[in-house]
Structure 1
């Protein structure tokens, strides 16, 4: 990446006005440097899992109910014991100042306006304290670091900042081989930092080397490569916050997460950015739901693009979803205003999907039948 290059702030969103989250992709690509677009858009390996996420959701046909007396459904839902405007959270995503100068502050403010949780990444380019000051409901996402003292410090900071849940990502023993980043020798510009880490701890992320992803080099240096269930139990013992385990695909791991004290699991393949060849999340979701049997909440991420996808996830048994890339597209295209528009569109799509499926509320959507087409 050319040093110091960032997208221009507050470019107008697409004309005509966006009608869906997908409509933000083109304007985002137009404003972002090509290597930043590849970083946001790309997956690992040959990107087969990245593509499979979308195909699997498209194959889920929901059987609508009729004559249910539903005109204006209620979209509100409870996640981790709290009420929100819809069963959606903004997924944790690193270095959001890469796509817009306001970064995490803009996206968190948009989540606050939409009344949905914002999940703040360990690798946020704005500190957890500043993100909390937006007034958003913040869940803190933890990457396990080699320095356990830093892990403990991050936990203390998350508690002090008023975070309402802790999300630990468990599917990154190493960073998946993201070929676009390798081809681009992608590095983070010096003015975008991992603001939650001590100064200077992200130096490798800024060092461009031909044939190397600087982010992969950085995470290899600071992330602990061998997280175990004992570590999760240690974490459970250090926080009274709801504990969310993100990155579960095998139902056996979901059961182990429950045994370790998890309040929720996120069925996730990291948006197709870790093991290429892992199953699509919509494919494996019902197995995980069946395995935990309401002993914890199950959320879905990876591939969610519109309100019908939220309905599909609920019909497959999830309590809610995390939405990721489309929110970065909206942030890049229009800053906070773009992100607000995207979440408003998503809410409207979900409300319409509930009405068309004959569901008075999200809980009714979990009783719908689905057919896997194709």
Structure 2
């Protein structure tokens, strides 16, 4: 068993996720903050993700008999304590020395799932040992990027399966990095030898500039790669980064285990719509063939209610986890998750709902009351 992350006290004055964000900005250096918190280009999508949840209004019912709240959700054939997962985020040791170890321990303790990034700064075996040690944990999944080397990818898949990971999350929306102006202005560079899982080496003689970009694109993922991985992976495969209904339908027809409606937190292609706006069409496209999850801009328990009412079966939370991590390690991450879950339970009760199966489109107000129903 790996050594446990250090125990830290929660700093005073943290009552909301916004409080965590403000305090974390003061704790991280400018370059790390730009890397974790910035988005692509003008950050229009980054802002839109948050604004779209705010525009949706809840439609509560009153005087209903309420049983004890049941937050349990069903994913990939198993029941889990909550519909909340930690999104894959790279290099968490830049936010706190305990990095992914602290995040894994806190997520497991709160019944939240964890998707470990392929760009983890902690070996996946150490993270898995901490997460799997809690009987009340959520799902433990591993994120993959397609890097053009199938042998390397299969070796990594076998490694994480042996470590105890239960599914793969293939990120499909980032064949190249986004244009991240905030990072460039801050002069962010990843420290050498920081990644616990270095990717395959670039072919000898790979040029820079436009020629290098073309060489990179020639190795980008395709639907043929998804089919290849589905045929060989011993673990269920979800696709992360689905925003178009046609892509959702194609993925479902191939038999993927699930989809994550995601615009990469606004970090890759700017001016994409918010995920709250994209979600209903993705849910409609798959017609129940596989679960749909969503990320992007989740900051309140009411956002989780809205996401599930729109048809998502679970949500992933990213940047707020890093804020809590920067503020107090595992204690800070646990506090962020506790705030979200407490707000989620309060919102459910105030909407007259005691189980997730009752969250439907009619739990939301719209200018056109048929708008959501027509999209689902």
Equivalent position to 1:39, from 35, 39, 54: 35
The answer on whether the counterparts of 2:92 and 2:99 sit within 8 Å (CA) in structure 1 is yes
Question: 1:153, CA displacement in angstroms?
Answer: 1.1
Structure 2 contact 148–221 (Cα < 8 Å) conserved: no
Write the distance in 2 (CA, Å) between the matches of 1:224 and 1:281: 28
Report SS of the residue matched to 2:169.
strand
Gaps of 5+ in 1: 1-8, 202-211, 213-217
1:155 to 116, 140, 157: 157
Residue-by-residue CA offset, 1:192-231 (whole Å, 9 max, x unaligned): 6110126988xxxxxxxxxx9xxxxx99998975211110
Q: CA deviation at 1:258?
A: 0.7
User: Would you say 1:275 and 2:277 are equivalent positions?
Assistant: no
Tell me the CA shift for residue 346 of structure 1.
1.2
Match of 1:208 in 2: none
Which one of 99, 102, 107 corresponds to residue 98 of structure 2? 102
Question: What is the CA distance between 1:371 and its match in structure 2?
Answer: 2.9
* Corresponding residue number in structure 2 for 1:114: 110
Correspondence for 1:4: none
In the alignment, structure 2 segments of 5+ residues that lack a partner are 1-5, 133-138, 203-208, 369-376
| Equivalence for 1:204 | none
**Residues in 1 aligned to 2:218 and 2:66: alpha-carbon distance in whole angstroms:** 50
Measure, in 1, the Cα distance between the counterparts of 2:36 and 2:8.
Answer: 18
* Aligned positions, number: 349
Secondary structure of residue in 1 paired with 2:178: coil
Post-superposition shift, 1:292? 0.6
Match of 2:332 in 1: 338
Q: Which moved more, 1:219-228 or 1:241-250?
A: 219-228
The structure 1 residue matched to 2:254, chosen from 257, 260, 267, is 260
Alpha-carbon distance in structure 2 between the residues aligned to 1:109 and 1:119: 13
* One of 218, 243, 247 as aligned partner of 1:249: 243
Aligned to 2:85: 89
The 8 Å contact of residues 60 and 373 in structure 1, kept in 2 or not, is answered as: no
Please report the TM-score for the alignment, with normalisation by the length of structure 2.
Answer: 0.87
Question: C-alpha deviations, 1:124-150, integer Å up to 9, x for none?
Answer: 001111111113442000011122221
* 1:177 Cα deviation from its structure 2 partner: 0.4
138-147 or 359-368: which moved more? 359-368
Which TM-score applies when normalising by structure 1?
0.88
Q: Is residue 2:67 matched to residue 1:66?
A: no
Deviation string for 1:333-363 (max 9, x for gaps)?
Answer: 0100111111111111111111011111111
2:312: which partner in 1?
318
Report the Cα distance in structure 1 between the residues aligned to 2:29 and 2:362, rounded to whole angstroms: 43
* TM-align CA RMSD: 2.4
Instruction: Give the stretch that moved more between structures: 358-367 or 112-121.
Output: 358-367
